[in-house]
Structure formats: C-alpha cells, structure tokens
Amino acid sequence: MSERLSSEIDDGTVRPADRGGLFRSIAHRLAGDTEVLPIEGRLPSFDRATGWLNSEPLTPAALRGRVVLVDFWTYTCVNWLRTLPYLAAWNRKYTDAGLSIIGVHTPEFGFEHDVTNVRTQVQNLRVDYAVAVDNDYGVWDEFANHYWPALYIADAEGRIRFHHFGEGEYERTEMVIQRLLIDAGAAGVDRDLVLVEPTGLEVGADWRSLQSPETYLGYGQSSGFASDDPAAYDRPRAYAGAARLPLNSWDLSGNWTVARHAVVAEGPGGRISFAFHARDVNLVMGPGTAGTRIPFRVLLDGEVVSESRGTDVEPDGTGSVVDQRTYQLIRQPGPITDRVFGIEFLSPGAEAYCVTFG
C-alpha cells in the first residue's frame, strides 16, 4: 500500500482461502440489522477529474439511489493489482442489484499521466467499470485520500459508510456492499461471497516469507543503492557493480544514468542486481522511447532463471520491455531464502522505476 512517496506492507491476514460457513454466517448477520455502519460524510464530487473512461462524467446526484464503491488506483501499483479480481467480481455480481464502481486513476509515475497508457492498461486489465482520470489529484484531494489502493463505499443516499486502505478485508467489504444494497431495497441479493482465481501479478503476496520492501530506483526516492554517488546524478556513468550485496541493497553494472525518476540504461548489457528475500520480484519499467522493444534476460544468483521465472519471462529466461508497466520477473516455487535477482538489458533505452516484492 503506497502513500504518495512511501510504502507500507499489509499483513495479509485475510486470504481468499479463509472463506466458508463462518463468513457466510457473518455476511447474513451484517446484511441484517445487527450492525450499524457509521456515517463518515457525504460522497465528494468528481468534478475535478481530468477525463473519464468507460463512462460519461458521473456526479453524486446522478448516482443517488445506487450504492457507490470508489476505488483509488494507479495501474503499476502491485497492491492494487492484487485487489482487481475482487473488484471485477463485485462489478459482475452486484451491478444489476444497484452497485456502481468508480475507479479513480490517480497516477504515481509520470508515464501514468498519459491517458493513452491508462486506456491501454484499462483494456489489458479488463477494467469494465467507470474510470475517472485524476491526473491533477483533484478527486484525490476532494476525498482527502493518501493511499493506493483506497476504497470508499457510499450508500444509496450518498453517505460514505465504509472505507479501507490497502489490500485485504475482501470479505468484510463485500458484506458491506450486500448490507447497503439490501438497505436500498435490492431484492434477491446473493449473500454468498465471491470466489476469485487470481493469476500472475494478481496473486497475493506470501506474507510469511516477505522480508524485502518496495524500493524506488531513481534518486528522488531511492534507498539501498550500493554505488550511490550524488555527484554522478543525471549524467551517464559506467558502474562496476558490487561483488557482494547485503540484503535489500541493489547495484548497477554497465552504463547508466541515475535520474530523479528512474535509472536509465545507456548501453547494451546494463544490469540491475538486488539482494532480496521474497517469493516474487516485480519491476516497474518501460522503454524510454514509445514503440521501442528492449530485450532483457533475468538472472537468479547469477544463473539464467528457469522454473522460478515470473509471468513476463520466457522459459529461457528472456523477455521484452514493450510498454511502461509492472513486470513480474521472479516467482519462486520452492523454499524462500536470501537470493540475488538480476536483470540485464540487451539494448539501451530501458527505464527502471521501482522494485516490488510478493
């Protein structure tokens, strides 16, 4: 869960496999009159959105009579990507009963301000509900929001009744949706909870083994850079790479420019190495020039990755950077120990922004 320029790790105590008769029983009680949901305020305006996808502009007045779920997201955020299967399932299940989901896309990285990029990812991720494009943080400010992801639910009278920041609480959230739909007069609401089958980046983190934090690479927010040298910022430099890396530190080898927003590969063979302890390694990256395809090779402890490859890596350990997004590079099937991840770019021009783990 990100708060503009910082990160937190959800404890992951709520998991899809935790369902059963107990949750169904709780859902029935919550959908009845045994629990009072607080009124947290009125649903703010969306007037400061800079555009809309999948919908005409929406207003609280036009949404009156419907339960409204507002979800703040940015498409590279791995914490939000793990919530997407639930949002999609709730949209399918409850739209006809009176639920409207509005995804407020408030960008973190510069390339996420590009509406073409957002539109492409909306299509690729199969986001079918309304999306308010919030490039100027106007809607973010109207909600006084601080996090990705962040979820707010308003009742049919336009009153905020529930919020949640970060991953998890899926069962609780769905129970609130059911309760507010029933309160609004919806008939025949199915009180069983949705079952989802996440894949790739949507799979929840292995919280028990996760010991590595989200790490930004550009010097504006960077931490753990073994060869950090402020005198070398914003200009090309040859890096040798450290012989050994302490856990949760990283280094460069080859020709790179360390910029405020990212590290930029200036020649073929540039490598990023990161000592980590986690099941998954994901990298937010993209080509510096739109339309460029940059091949890469992924390494684990100095060897080309094979059975531990992520969904964006081929069986021979290779892949290509083709757009600006989050790439899953490592997913380990076996016991988790301290390892060193590496990615080598075979052509110049790649920009790497942030490493996340799962």
pLDDT value at position 14?
28
Handedness of CA 344, 350, 356, 358 (dihedral sign): negative
pLDDT value at position 27?
40
pLDDT value at position 33?
42
What phi and psi values does residue 352 have, to the nearest 5 degrees?
Answer: -115, 130
Phi-psi sector, 188: left (phi>0), alpha (psi -120 to 50), beta: left
Q: Is pLDDT of 271 > 90?
A: yes
Q: Give the chain's mean pLDDT.
A: 91
Q: Is pLDDT of 357 > 60?
A: yes
User: What percent of the chain has pLDDT above 90?
Assistant: 89
Q: Is pLDDT of 13 > 60?
A: no
**Stretch 93-111: mean pLDDT, rounded?**
98
Here the tokens at position 97 are 């009963």
- Local confidence band at 243 (pLDDT 50, 70, 90 cut-offs): very high
Q: Is pLDDT of 327 > 90?
A: yes
What phi and psi values does residue 318 have, to the nearest 5 degrees?
Answer: -105, 165
CA distances from 51 to 43, 219, 279 (A): 19, 31, 38
Q: Is pLDDT of 295 > 80?
A: yes
- Local confidence band at 334 (pLDDT 50, 70, 90 cut-offs): confident
**Of the listed ranges 32-46, 52-66, 179-193, 262-276, the one predicted with least confidence:** 32-46
Q: Which residue has the higher pLDDT, 288 or 7?
A: 288
Here the tokens at position 356 are 């996340």
**Stretch 225-244: mean pLDDT, rounded?**
96
Give yes or no for a contact between 317 and 299, defined as CB atoms under 8 angstroms apart: yes
Give yes or no for a contact between 344 and 297, defined as CB atoms under 8 angstroms apart: yes
38-77 pLDDT tens trace: 999 999 999 999 999 999 999 999 999 999 999 999 999 9
> Does residue 149 have a cis peptide bond before it, meaning omega lies within 30 degrees of 0?
yes
Here the tokens at position 219 are 């010097």
How far apart CA 230 and CA 227 sit, in angstroms, is 10
Give yes or no for a contact between 14 and 157, defined as CB atoms under 8 angstroms apart: no
- Local confidence band at 145 (pLDDT 50, 70, 90 cut-offs): very high
- Give the 3-state secondary structure of residue 117: helix
How far apart CA 231 and CA 150 sit, in angstroms, is 38
Enumerate domains of the chain plus CATH numbers: 2-202 (3.40.30.10), 215-357 (2.60.120.260)
Instruction: Give the N- to C-terminal CA distance of the chain in Å, as an integer.
Output: 12
**Stretch 331-348: mean pLDDT, rounded?**
96
Place of tokens 């990160």: 7
pLDDT value at position 3?
59
How far apart CA 54 and CA 24 sit, in angstroms, is 33
Q: Which residue has the higher pLDDT, 18 or 141?
A: 141
User: What percent of the chain has pLDDT above 70?
Assistant: 90
pLDDT value at position 35?
63
pTM (predicted TM-score): 0.89
pLDDT value at position 18?
30
